[in-house]
Chains A and B, each alone.
Chain A
């Protein structure tokens, strides 16, 4: 906006112009600081097409510079002007140097259009001396800017040249010329990740991919390398992660995640798009990295022109080299100062103390020892490696008490569950005479590098997830670290100077450590990997030539699991849903949920839930015990289960963001919610949504155009402001290091946060800005508010979708739970007995909603002892994960009705003769009071499952077809019509609402072993056609009885009840055809299902209508019970 010019002002200037010899008007009134003066000058010099633009940050910087310059010149002019000595000219080239010195001659640039501007432009009234004074200042400023930028450039180049790897660049390139694979080994800090890509660029390679295990690393490396190679970020150097790409036609090197490269291989197995492949951090032995190495080993002979560089820390290098037929190794020495190792094993009695809790005293002794031995003026911080978060908080408490006493330490925690801001604190500086004491998990071993560490304490322990394939259970267990990890930890003390490493174990312990950490492939569930291997057609996962093979049991479990999930069929081939799941880079159960949800038009809520279940819990630990937080959070809790609570939290948060944005931080704090996790959810949700759209499971977002041009303009303005805020934040270098306060409270006490937050109240919440730029808040808000309007039916369907997604991760409440304390509730899964609810679980505080005799639930004949109770309210818990720390915990549970869910989901259902006794998946027994309703439910479930399956298959097939044809939009009718979906939903809901009393019981091990009658020598074909629709019964080869479908086996259960009970008949008259004769209940149902006179009651769906074609004569004949 131009400065307001009054009419008088213009007249005044006009008059001025007419008076030919311009009169100096009150020159003493000239004030450089006057905003209007500045405005006038900015009008002339800082136009949009100028080098500096008015209103920009640059403009502010200029004025600051201007003020400094003025002060300086004032000093200068008060000094006496020196008489310039006449220089003697030697050579011709220098003959025309100006004789009289003027600093202006030292500036090699000039501002254009100097005087032409003042005459006719907006600033024509400005006194020319002032204008030239201003121009001179501007010139100095531009020169200063050039010097500053060049200084940075020169510094950058010097630093690059000083990196240890700089000496090896040529050798790496030379070796790569002669070999297909080269291993570059060097420890963190040698510069390999940033420099090797640049050496390749400089050598003229132009199709380079560099994989990273972490997404964050892709972005930061692309930025760093783009910056260092002085190419503009986003052109020569780019990154590509899920749904985010800065890749363009000009990109010569791209940083991408291992997972993404694998997906590219999936599309183009020979990777024609790359010339060189850098695989970074191979020593970390991530699951996908190991797999990638296997894929590459096979690919290389087919692509002799493809070059591969494996980059590794100096850990087990020979393993990688020999895996690629003894590839040459270029080893880059690290830059380490000498480190003294002090072994301080803990006393035997202490470590054997009964308490599970870690003893913090050995750690405090090290703090004391440092205080006693090293004067405080000698700087150097302490890094303590602990096994996990609980251990960190134990030592944190003790160390903080010690720090308060001595005033010589600032204690800070560091682990991955901290918010980024809290993690960043470890990079801040301690005040003089005070040391930082950083308590860290192994995150600081290789991922996070902190400067200034002189002392390291190594507990020798690490907590890692281990996987028990038998129990299908993840365990967080404490292990001794490997020698390689111990060396990494030690090395952290010698990066900036000589250091000391205190090892809280004996040298003999060290000698007994495994040489290397256990690779991920040996300790995690392999479901996702096996699925990916299947979809990449790399052959049998059992025989794939991994660099180190996974345990055979893990592979078998994964295959079984994928079969249970319906991703693989019985011949281990991918099913349609399986091949889609393989393309969704998410957990199998989450992927299933999304696919199922999108069919029922529940995509929006399912997206939120899927995202919520894929990030760490947003509930802070400290808030667990905080009553205020618990109270504030209560209205958001859902007694349906944790996914719904998370769903509510996210939706409420989105509402807060769209209503009174600045307060979302406070809103979260009050409820003990880590806002960072909600941002992650929002990002993930968006990614999932794009995934579904990509795969044709969700119609592309309809762009909701604001109604009128005013609000459009408004919206554009808002976005501009946001962009500007973000740019300012980025150009300001983001966060600057600050000096820590002595009482820095690491464990995020709320008061502390409140304080610092209010200090920043006027500053920008950059997370909020980024959030609003990245997401369409209006759309999110619409989704969030529609969530409040979910009908009971939609909610029930949503639960069904979650249940089917999570199946077979089910737990049954123990029969005696209703008599137990809240905290003693136990649950059993098929593989694991006696699991408990995670303390964060909503049912942990309200287990009564899981009991069968709630206020309204007491069955008609319900015995009050809770055991073996007939009830129609039995429920199961579907859970997202089973995690064992000190106890086996069920994490993220939903309650679902037992009978109906089992009938709809189970891969195996076995019945007795009259179907009153059912066994689901060989571990849960259901006894129904009434055989007739049992058969009806079974028949309905058969029909619904078939219908549901066929709808799903048709939809997936159409989607696969569409992808194959690369069709973007398909105007044709969808494979499954909305009417059909509506009918299916209605029927499913009716089915779920069925009230049938039954007993639910987990079978004992012995019962489970003796479940079946076994194959029968005399095959007695039951003449019950139509009992289960049109299914053709055939004898089951192993269980006995008759296979009705691939999951239902009729009459195969051993039974101690009367063998002839199913032959008891009573007279009955068919209301439709009038047939009057003795029937067993099953025969009666069979007749009803197939009676030619019966009205077709197939509820609304074409396929489900009774098919009268296959009527055999047996139907109308009286039945005989065959011996």
Chain B
């Protein structure tokens, strides 16, 4: 009876790289409660917790299309370039990406080394 007010969480999303954990309420490419937007990958989604608008959603992450790890959308964990690729896989296959992406990844590597203790 309460479900109409609140999409019931389907489970917990947990990024296999950074361990970020959050409840998700939908997996797929068509976010519920809105007809206006579709997703280009199978995503784990929750209702945007920072908005009072019911239709607003937040994409938490999806599976890496190379290694199928579940990863979050944090730029430290994965990137999207027509498909989701986790950062370790990007680094292993860096030459497969256009220069712009390569530069980006380089920059990020430098920056995150300075102040980060993530795995």
Contact = CB atoms under 8 A, between A and B. Distances in A.
Q: Do A and B come from one complex?
A: yes
A97 B65 contact: no
Given A84-B99, A248-B2, A153 B37 contact: no
A97 B6 contact: no
Contacts of A249: 1-2
Contacts of B46: 230
A49 interface: yes
A235 B22 contact: no
A87 interface: yes
Mostly, the A contact residues are loop
B55 A51 contact: yes
Contact of A91 (B2, B35, B55, B93): B93
In order of increasing CB-CB distance, the 8 nearest A-B pairs are A250-B2, A101-B98, A235-B6, A94-B96, A51-B36, A249-B2, A108-B80, A50-B36
A230 B65 CA distance: 28
Contact of B82 (A98, A146, A236, A250): A98
A812 interface: no
Category for how many chain A residues contact B: 35 or more
Contacts of B51: 149
A230 B6 contact: no
Interface string B82-119: 11110000000101111111000000000000000000
Contact of B49 (A88, A232, A234, A250): A232
B17 interface: no
A927 B68 CA distance: 99
Contact of A153 (B22, B65, B82): B22
B99 to A, nearest CB: 5
A142 interface: yes
A108 B40 contact: yes
A731 interface: yes
A90 B60 CA distance: 28
Nearest to B12: A202
Chain A CB within 10 Å, residue with most, of B22, B83, B93, B98:
B98
B41 A108 contact: yes
Given A85-B99, A153-B22, A232-B47, A97 B81 contact: yes
Contact of A106 (B34, B60, B80): B80
Interface string A94-124: 1011111100011111111100000000000
A106 B81 contact: yes
A94 B38 contact: no
Contacts of A887: none
The B interface, classified by DSSP as helix, strand, loop or mixed, is loop
13 contacts: A51-B34, A51-B55, A51-B56, A91-B96, A97-B96, A111-B37, A113-B36, A146-B58, A146-B73, A149-B50, A157-B21, A236-B6, A250-B3
Given A51-B55, A232-B49, A248-B2, A101 B37 contact: no
Interface string B1-17: 11101100100000000
Interface of A: 49-51, 58, 82, 84-85, 87-91, 93-94, 96-101, 105-113, 142, 146-147, 149-150, 152-154, 157, 227, 230-232, 234-236, 248-250, 727, 731
B36 A149 contact: no
Contacts of A231: 6, 9, 23
A727 B93 CA distance: 48
Nearest to A49: B35
Contacts of A106: 79-81
Given A98-B82, A106-B80, A109-B38, A90 B52 contact: no
Given A51-B34, A93-B65, A157 B22 contact: yes
B23 to A, nearest CB: 6
B82 A105 contact: yes
B41 A94 contact: no
A87 B49 contact: no
Contacts of A89: 96
Given A89-B96, A90-B96, A105-B82, A152 B6 contact: no
Contacts of B101: 101
Contact of B66 (A94, A157, A234, A235): A94
Nearest to B8: A250
Contacts of B49: 153, 227, 230, 232
Contacts of A96: 82
A775 to B, nearest CB: 23
B27 interface: no
A73 to B, nearest CB: 15
A238 to B, nearest CB: 11
B52 A105 contact: no
B40 A154 contact: no
B59 A150 contact: yes
A99 B97 CA distance: 8
Contact of B98 (A50, A87, A108): A87
